[in-house]
Amino acid sequence: MTLPPPSQNVRFGHVFIVVEENANYASVIGNPSMPYLNGLANQYGLATNYFANAHPSIPNYFELTTGQTLTPFDSVTPQTFPVGDDNVVRQLLAAGKTWKSYAEDLPTIGYTGGDTGNYAVRHNPLAYMNDVQNVPAQKLNLVPFSQFSADLAGSTLPDYSFIVPNLCNDGHNCPLATADTWLMNNIDPLIRSPVFQAGGLLIIVFDEADLLDFTSGGGHVAAVIVSPLGKRGY
């Protein structure tokens, strides 16, 4: 594979964000119970000096989607805390791009309610955006993760995908080994797909470190960057 020279701008075809939960860098990188994620980190790119912005979860999710932490309260819902700030959905639509949020255990398409089962709304930040919850056509882009494999198989993935594993599969309530297995089963088919190999970008990032690490606000966390256009093993 020939990489473009550093001075040349790279345009990614499809962008995918997967957010994992509550683990510091040292508990993830080099952890033998996470062989799949560590394999990606070794093969592709690893941000070794990446820090979350805050504790608890939701300010980090908002930072990823609005560039601001907005609130420190995990208890807020789209109804009690609608977000009118500029955000990635607004930017995507202005650029003529498509998007979806694929949330595991989301009960119905377009759901903007609170927690249910293993679904945590605080981990689905795009549901809070006024650009989404107040626009019926955009609410339809809040879909259960079960739709992801169908969109991949049908070559109908959007330009931007925000992927939300449930509270077990993101490592919040279950061991990191469970999160790693979920990534292998659900994300590896994406990486191997023609649509991704044509110029995709995947970022797997942990929202915050454990509550013993407040460095830079939210602690030292792992961020793995996967792309066929990126420098390997970097």
Stated pTM of the model: 0.94
Range(s) of the domain holding residue 201: 15-226
pLDDT in tens, 89-130: 999 999 999 999 999 999 999 999 999 999 999 999 999 999
pLDDT in tens, 128-184: 999 999 999 999 999 999 999 999 999 999 999 999 999 999 999 999 999 999 999
For residue 19, give the CATH number of its domain. 3.40.720.10
Altogether, the residues listed in the chain come to a count of 234
- If one counts the domains in the chain, the total is 1
pLDDT at 2 over 90: no
2 within a domain of the structure (yes/no): no
pLDDT for residue 5: 55
pLDDT at 8 over 90: no
5 within a domain of the structure (yes/no): no
pLDDT for residue 1: 41
pLDDT band at 231 (very low <50, low <70, confident <90, very high): confident
Q: Are 83 and 131 in contact (CB under 8 A)?
A: no
pLDDT at 7 over 80: no
1 within a domain of the structure (yes/no): no
CA distance 137 to 47: 36
pLDDT band at 218 (very low <50, low <70, confident <90, very high): very high
What is the dihedral sign for C-alpha 104, 105, 109, 110? negative
